Chain A
Amino acid sequence: MAKYLLLKHYRGAPAAVNDVPMDQWTPEEISAHVRYMDDFAARLEGTGEFVDSQALSPEGTFVRYDGEGRPPVTDGPFAETKDLIAGWMVIDVESYERALELAGELSAAPGQGGKPIHEWLEVRPFLAAPPTITD
């Protein structure tokens, strides 16, 4: 088994096919979308492949160390930042092909008009722990 991160972007991924902002959907369409996501996670728990799912606020702040005894410096948010992560799902699956298959299904979540969003999701493998036998 290998763990993969399915990464969802507010910004930075190529445009989705059904690319209409959520605030322009009907309340029913939003409910249908949320239900799809919940069902998807529940189904993966049922298949023993679910690890974690989280959503992030679009608001963020950059922080850095500013020297001994000084408070950290904060800055931003920067409107020009290209990559803005919206959330993720972590899965634990048998193969890379299975990770792609599941990302494809997640990308089919319904958007405006109840049609799939065809959203681009980024699939990233986790770096695992080293195996015991190496030679």
Chain B
Amino acid sequence: MDEVLLRTLTPTVIGILVRRGADFAAAEDAVQDALVESVRGWPDDPPRDPKGWLVAVAWRKFLDAARADTSRRRREVLVEAEPVPGPGGAVDDTLQLYFLCAHPSLTPASAVALTLRAVGGLTTRQVAQAYLVPEATMAQRISRAKRTVSGVRFDQPGDVATVLRVLYLVFNEGYSGDVDLAAEAIRLTRQLAAKTKHEEVAGLLALMLLHHARRPARTRPDGSLVPLAEQDRSLWDTRMIAEGVDVLQAALTRDRVGEFQAQAAIAALHADARTAAETDWVQIVEWYDELVRLTDSPIARLNRAVAVGQADGPRAGLAALAGLDPSLPRHAAVAAYLHERDGDPVTAARLYAEAARSAPNLPERDHLTRQAARLNAELGG
């Protein structure tokens, strides 16, 4: 039994404890304790029924904690609302946990941390390492999140959109720690997609798969970024791309397009091109139009300007860029790229340098600085 398989049991076991009358916070703590114990003990002595073992150990941990708490909490219990056990059976426990951990009363960071622990089964230490904060800080973030949702009924249906935003954040987190957050986000989204027929869940899963497939080509061994047009496409994971395309196509036939499906469609069109030159930019622009219509997002408009520059030439791209706020992240980088293609390396070099100064991360800054240096060398020589 490997660690990931073990972690898939987490939400089920929490659900069982809640049905037996434990409140969510205590059930979650107990299952976390049981998971930690299993990681210590199982390599030497794996149980034949891992789920049964986890339920038994977690329930014992819950009872121990409840007894230890009784004297301390006797007075508090009087003023605290009694936990309401879920009716059970009607709605899937795992699905309920996704909703609870992404509850709109939580900040995005709290929702992410709680989801990774209670749905993903990661330890507090692993979540802390992934987000580069001390374990004590992450423990507090999680326990505050649990307090925030303590009044939420476990059996209330939630909003899938909030869950998707949380999973998107986990996937998009670039930090590389002990845990591969992108792979974990895919696992959690896949699990969610198996439990709900919502087309945007499929859209997000497709989006993740299509981007994850490109990961081996996205960075050089030294960590520097490789732009899409220069990527070695033989490094792309074709099986993952095929799965992403299948998932997306099944979702699109339902004719309820949303922003994740639109983004996935753009990623699929990139994945479909054997070389950068074969990219179907006209269709990509159409999907960006759809994305802008769906989200009205300035970032989507910015990315659309790049696509327009490819489909209709750099002048058209610059025209699409003209109405956008120059303070948008990556605005200068897009402008630099379009000006270079329009045959104005002086402006492009200046804008690349400006973009480098405001880059939000180091690999991007280095990449933009190299672009500016390349143009400056050509101009000087």
Q: Within the assembled complex, what's the spacing in Å between the Cα atoms of A134 and B133?
A: 25
Instruction: Check B137 for interface membership: any CB of A closer than 8 A.
Output: yes
Partner of A132, one of B134, B174, B303, B365: B174
Interface pair B136/A1, CB less than 8 Å apart: no
Instruction: Check A73 for interface membership: any CB of B closer than 8 A.
Output: no
Interface pair A92/B137, CB less than 8 Å apart: yes
Once A49-B137, A135-B266 are accepted as A-B contacts, the answer to whether A129 and B175 lie under 8 Å apart by CB is yes
In the bound complex, residues from chain A placing their C-beta under 8 Å from that of B263 are: 133
What secondary structure prevails in chain B residues at the interface with A?
helix
Q: Within the assembled complex, what's the spacing in Å between the Cα atoms of A40 and B133?
A: 17
Once A3-B132, A47-B140, A133-B211 are accepted as A-B contacts, the answer to whether A128 and B174 lie under 8 Å apart by CB is yes
In the bound complex, residues from chain B placing their C-beta under 8 Å from that of A46 are: 140, 144
Q: Within the assembled complex, what's the spacing in Å between the Cα atoms of A51 and B134?
A: 6
Which residues of chain A from 98 to 135 have any CB-CB distance to chain B below 8 Å in the complex?
Answer: 127-135
CB distance from A19 to the nearest CB of B (A): 32
Interface pair A50/B134, CB less than 8 Å apart: yes
Interface pair B175/A45, CB less than 8 Å apart: no
Partner of B172, one of A45, A52, A132: A132
In the bound complex, residues from chain A placing their C-beta under 8 Å from that of B141 are: 47-48
From B103-111, B156-164, B341-349, the one touching the partner chain is B103-111
In the bound complex, residues from chain A placing their C-beta under 8 Å from that of B267 are: 135
In the bound complex, residues from chain B placing their C-beta under 8 Å from that of A129 are: 173-176, 361-363
In the bound complex, residues from chain A placing their C-beta under 8 Å from that of B215 are: 132
Instruction: Check A38 for interface membership: any CB of B closer than 8 A.
Output: no
In the bound complex, residues from chain A placing their C-beta under 8 Å from that of B207 are: 133
CB distance from B178 to the nearest CB of A (A): 15
Given contacts A1-B131, A48-B144, A127-B362, 15 further A-B contacts (CB under 8 A): A45-B136, A46-B140, A48-B140, A50-B137, A51-B137, A94-B107, A128-B175, A129-B362, A130-B363, A131-B173, A132-B171, A132-B173, A133-B263, A135-B303, A135-B306
